[in-house]
Amino acid sequence: MKRVLTGSRGYSRLEIAFFVVLFALVGTLAVTKYLDISRDAKLAMEPGLIEGVRKGISEFAEEAKHRGDLTPYPPVLDHATLGDSGQRNLFFDRVLDKGVAVAGWTKTGTNEYRTPSGDIIVYNPNSGEFAPAGSHATPGNGESQSTQAAGD
């Protein structure tokens, strides 16, 4: 009996092109889904970090009270330079143990920060408040708008 050999020894160009298009489509969907999850994760971390900083400010004030310091709140929250957070530019190292490098956060002023969602958060060293701009603080310097606002 003779064996019949066919001329097929692999995939045709059409099959290869089909697989390339299929993998490109699946890869694109996976990457866009990952980027969407990454942004959602940054936004979900934002309130937790803000509350962590507020707690750190409270703990700093409590320690200052026990030491007998006349200034209960730190004048600044960190030694970071203006710009994005990173391993060489840690944010909040005065009130958090080691500081943080969180993608999406930007220092825009001495006591002013932009969050990943685009909100501006201002620290007021007179009251210890770490809140969205306009709630009692003036963006850019972290000082209160007036003595009346600082006393609220």
pLDDT digits over 133-147, tens only? 876 544 344 333 333
CA angle 75, 79, 83 (to 5 degrees): 115
Biggest CA–CA distance in the chain, Å, is 104
State percent of the chain over pLDDT 70: 76
Distances (CA, A) of 90 to 15, 97, 102, 104: 51, 11, 8, 13
Mean of the pLDDT values across residues 14-42?
Answer: 78
pLDDT at 8: 60
**For strand 106-109 and strand 129-132, is the pairing parallel, antiparallel, or unpaired?**
unpaired
For 94-108, give the secondary structure using H, E and C: CCCCCCECCCCCEEE
Mean pLDDT of the chain: 81
Q: Give first-to-last CA distance, the chain, whole Å.
A: 101
Residue 42, H or E segment: helix 13-67
State pLDDT tens for residues 99-146.
999 888 999 999 999 998 899 999 999 999 999 987 654 434 433 333
pLDDT for the residue 150: 38
pLDDT for 1:
60
Residue 31 has pLDDT above 60, yes or no: yes
Q: What is the pLDDT of residues 49-73, one digit of tens each?
A: 999 999 999 999 999 999 888 889 9
